[in-house]
A and B are shown apart, each in its own frame.
Chain A
């Protein structure tokens, strides 16, 4: 892929360069290869006739209720599959993208980039968007493929399953802000992965606040737990909300996790830009 084929702006050039680097480092193919593997596993699993299997398993008789229950069963399957794809896709994406920020900060490479008539903000955002685009393409490929497979097999097309695409891309975009910040500060891909994955786990633990705060004895510890809960991106909550949305659950709570995670991402990315603008190379 050459940039000269298109009328690429400087930002476009930076995004395209991230693609080229991801391809050259086998990250692009690695992501798509592993996604294809998961798709193949789904194909294999669904060779068992899901609809027939469901009928057998649930002992459903041929009544009007049967259609509703099969729909319900497939939707439940869709929701669980979306969770698998959400976790799988996010983890892989974090691993794949961690090295793409430190690589651009290598001495001899960054000084030439900074000598160009670009602001540092644009330079970093170009890299961020390039990274996000690579992962977004992979998410679209993975989730659409699985949706097609389930749809063809069950003849039940649940468009809400496709909500997994924007939600997975969104949560990755938030975690990528952390990867960029750590990359800009430490130039360490390994540390970026460690912290992003740790945030995913911490988010899961903090999300159990309803059970945990009851066990905490002091008010300040309960408030501290809740403060951390609101501070950290809601990887777990958004996964749960996605599952509920696919199940048409009216209790789905996605607005608060969405805006608090977005706020976290904006603050972290702004900090990364600020650090990057002040750094000497």
Chain B
């Protein structure tokens, strides 16, 4: 029977103990998560939230202190459970003595791909990531973006059912980021489950269907992106707003964010928006723009970080 979930964790936990002092650091705490097969799932959290430790536990790079992880119904500790997984680690260090082709060949062989199949697929995947002309060049000559794309090819070459990407666009310029996003978008409809670990909220929002947010090793929020960002409102941008008007705007229900050349006021209803506009104009301020807005994933994330749950 096919598993419904690509990833299932049940109360998974990791506690690091310092060798001499015996001090404990709880990197991940009692985390239970289900990632549906074929979904695009984003794991968010600030630095040190335990995202990478969680991913490493999924892949048996780190042994959980408690709980268990299951991949497609198989215990993650079983090497066979990792056969349908493609992984691109954060801060990877590919052997620099290999060429792009050699690197793909090596990792594909470790993934169990036969030599004849590797020979066929390597040019295809070099092409997919735009490195056809670089296959024979040693990877120490590659830029960060090229390494990241090659890493992606390495994660994809054995046609995994689950793709685990740890900060896939970290340190990559906007063009490279776009290219990576295009490759990932190309997986839509193929049934591949994509699990992205990132702190780039806009990317996760644009790509993922589901997110989970970690804070200090604990799961503080989980759900569909479309539900979490559904909260709508009106955003008013204005300049020359005197400080005396800000208190009145707050009283009217506006949330004020300073901008380099003025302020942005977020309100929930149209009535509030009209009242805020009136208050700004009465104080001599200039309205620059008025736009309907939805709550961004960033808003959801910040609230989750502040309160420990979604607002």
A20 to B102, CA, bound (A): 10
- Partner of A7 from the list B92, B93, B101, B115 (CB cut-off 8 Å) is B115
Most buried by B among A2, A9, A12, A113: A2
Which residue from chain A places its CB closest to the CB of B102 in the assembled complex? A2
In this complex, the interface size class of chain B, counting residues with CB under 8 Å from chain A, is 35 or more
A2 to B122, CA, bound (A): 12
User: A107 touching B61 by the CB < 8 A rule?
Assistant: no
Q: Which of A53-61, A63-71, A114-122, A144-152 contacts B (4 or more CB under 8 A)?
A: A114-122
Interface of chain B residues 71 through 92 with chain A (CB within 8 A): 79-80, 82-83, 85, 87, 89-92
Interface of chain B residues 108 through 126 with chain A (CB within 8 A): 109-112, 114-116, 118-119, 122
| A-B pairs under 8 A by CB, number | 108
- Asked if B63 CB lies within 8 Å of chain A CBs, one says yes
User: B93 touching A3 by the CB < 8 A rule?
Assistant: no
- Asked if A255 CB lies within 8 Å of chain B CBs, one says no
Q: Which chain A residues lie closer than 8 Å to B83 at the CB level?
A: 117
User: A17 touching B95 by the CB < 8 A rule?
Assistant: yes
Chain B nearest CB from A6 CB (Å) reads: 6
User: B105 touching A111 by the CB < 8 A rule?
Assistant: no
- Asked if A88 CB lies within 8 Å of chain B CBs, one says no
Proximity bits, B234-273, A CB within 8 Å = 1, else 0: 0000000000000000000000000000000000000000
- Asked if A224 CB lies within 8 Å of chain B CBs, one says no
- Asked if A159 CB lies within 8 Å of chain B CBs, one says no
User: B109 touching A12 by the CB < 8 A rule?
Assistant: yes
- Asked if B30 CB lies within 8 Å of chain A CBs, one says no
User: A117 touching B114 by the CB < 8 A rule?
Assistant: no
User: A115 touching B94 by the CB < 8 A rule?
Assistant: no
Q: Which chain B residues lie closer than 8 Å to A46 at the CB level?
A: none
- Asked if B292 CB lies within 8 Å of chain A CBs, one says no
A109 to B98, CA, bound (A): 13
User: B97 touching A23 by the CB < 8 A rule?
Assistant: yes
Lowest 8 A-B CB distances belong to which pairs? Answer: A24-B97, A13-B109, A108-B93, A115-B87, A116-B110, A117-B83, A115-B59, A280-B62
21 contacts across the A-B interface (CB closer than 8 A):
A2-B102, A3-B102, A3-B105, A4-B118, A6-B115, A10-B109, A14-B110, A20-B95, A20-B97, A21-B97, A24-B95, A107-B91, A109-B93, A110-B61, A115-B85, A115-B89, A117-B83, A117-B112, A118-B79, A119-B79, A281-B62
A sample of 16 more A-B contacts (CB under 8 A), given A20-B97, A116-B110, is A3-B106, A7-B116, A9-B109, A12-B109, A13-B105, A16-B106, A108-B93, A112-B154, A114-B60, A114-B61, A115-B85, A115-B87, A115-B89, A115-B164, A280-B63, A281-B62
Which residues of A pack against B, CB within 8 Å? 2-10, 12-14, 16-17, 20-21, 23-25, 106-119, 278, 280-281
Which residues of B pack against A, CB within 8 Å? 16, 56, 59-63, 79-80, 82-83, 85, 87, 89-99, 101-102, 105-107, 109-112, 114-116, 118-119, 122, 154, 164
